[in-house]
Amino acid sequence: MIQGWSGDDYRRSLDLLVQVWQRWQPWLASPALIGVGSVCRRTLNHPTHGLYSVLAGLEGNLPAGARLHLFGVKGAALQQLRTYPWIASADSMAYDFSARQKALREGRSNTLAHRSGEMTRWMSAAVERMRPTAGDQHRLAF
Domain boundaries, the chain: 1-92, 93-142
Instruction: Give the pLDDT confidence of 52-85 residue by residue, as tens digits.
Output: 999 999 999 999 999 999 998 888 888 888 888 8
Least confident of 61-70, 111-120, 124-133: 124-133
- What is the predicted pLDDT for the residue at 141? 61
Question: Percent of the chain beyond pLDDT 70?
Answer: 95
Burial of 127 (0-12, 13-18, 19+ CB in 10 A): exposed
